[in-house]
Structure 1
């Protein structure tokens, strides 16, 4: 709570409007580079052939004005889980770019990241039960 109060006081004193890191009208590649460079410390961003095809499709479908949310390893600021600490001047490789049109953002996938699976429309927990004999049912 003490930290929250300090943050509140500092933000009041600044009295500056929020300024995003990039303009949503920027090219997708520029948005990705902006995050990779300013936050992660990357020197450059490389794109696999798949990611380049994804970029072409994003522009073709008009989704290029969406913001980006980069998926990368939690073990490093880079896309390499073995590059620890505060790395600088490294290369980030975007291997694929997912369009989340419903949520309204693009997800560049970097490194060997595995995304969490989505949940079904009806969670399995709604059909799991214990029968009169004490057996768990609904797991099939």
Structure 2
């Protein structure tokens, strides 16, 4: 991964975290890692735990950010969400359950990023 790609990813994750907070979600964890992979953002949406995968693309990308979450990635996110709950959640599962969201961030040449939040996109 190039430095430019890493910077774009960080930009997208920061923008997504701000977007979630502005929408009333409480960000609990960011960039949680284990041997099996990484969760970009874990947030609480009322009584529902939202595990959020952030996909960022530049304005000139050929693929929609959401297309990057294929069935293999979706299964990995489910396993990582289960592991996060087992390791980090200190109570019974949240009453609203767990959902896996995708946040599509498109970075243009000018202005703020365009963010499309897809709640429950995986599962």
**TM-score normalised by the chain length of structure 1:** 0.23
Q: Which has the higher contact order (CA 8 A, sep 6+)?
A: 2
Larger Rg: 1
Higher strand share: 2
